[in-house]
């Protein structure tokens, strides 16, 4: 790796050697599933289990989520906090996997928070899963959710048109009014 590439990787990992090590280990472990260019820290070619057209994606420090043209959602990454929406938390998910709980519920947007994910359906409903230490999942409690669960409060308000996430919160817009 060139000196410039090392510097950029170090900066992108927040100057944390542990993050750099995790990144390099994950690339090594998934080398048969992910093709990288010479600038591995900039470009990733992710192989999906079946032919798919990604229309929207979001990533956090430990996981990523992808919405396909069909409305299906795939996730991958460190699922130890249930942030990928799969009940299996024994090991990281290196190849994007269909979120089974959202099967048959077409989505148009996903957002990745620190240790959680929010899903916006084509019908304007919001589902969340993952860690819920600060109540960021929007269910009125602090219970973690291993699979996506609808936010009932937002369902009562009406159709949501866009969502965003920070480290420990979700924002939802309804007719361009933030809730």
* Residues whose CB falls within 8 Å of the CB of residue 166, separated by 6 or more in sequence, listed in order: 113
Residue 149 bridge partners (DSSP): 128
Listed as ranges, residues in the chain with pLDDT below 70 are 1-5, 9-10, 12-13, 18-52, 176-179
For 122-147, what is each residue's pLDDT tens digit?
Answer: 999 999 999 999 999 999 999 999 99
Question: Residue 146 corresponds to which tokens in the numbers above?
Answer: 């291993």
Give the Å distances, CA to CA, from 154 to 84, 90, 112, 164, 166. Answer: 21, 32, 18, 14, 18
Q: Give the pLDDT score at 116.
A: 96
pTM (2 d.p.): 0.74
- Across the chain, what does the average pLDDT equal? 83
Please state, in angstroms and rounded to a whole number, the distance separating the CA atoms of residues 75 and 63.
7
Report the helix count and the strand count for the chain, using DSSP H and E. 3, 13
């Amino acid at each position: 790796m060139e000196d410039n590439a090392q510097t950029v990787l170090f900066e992108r990992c927040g100057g944390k050697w542990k993050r750099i090590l995790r990144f390099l280990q994950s690339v090594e472990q998934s080398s048969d599933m992910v093709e990288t260019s010479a600038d591995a820290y900039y470009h990733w070619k992710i192989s999906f289990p079946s032919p798919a057209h990604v229309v929207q994606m979001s990533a956090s420090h430990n996981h990523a989520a992808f919405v396909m043209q069909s409305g299906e959602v795939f996730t991958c990454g460190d699922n130890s906090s249930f942030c990928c929406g799969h009940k299996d938390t024994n090991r990281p998910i290196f190849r994007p996997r269909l979120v089974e709980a959202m099967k048959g519920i077409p989505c148009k947007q996903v957002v990745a928070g620190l240790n959680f994910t929010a899903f916006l359906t084509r019908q304007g409903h919001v589902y969340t899963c993952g860690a819920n230490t600060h109540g960021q999942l929007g269910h009125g409690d602090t219970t973690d959710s291993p699979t996506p669960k609808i936010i009932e409060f937002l369902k009562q308000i009406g159709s949501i048109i866009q969502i965003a996430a920070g480290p420990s919160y979700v924002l939802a817009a309804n007719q361009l009014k933030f809730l």
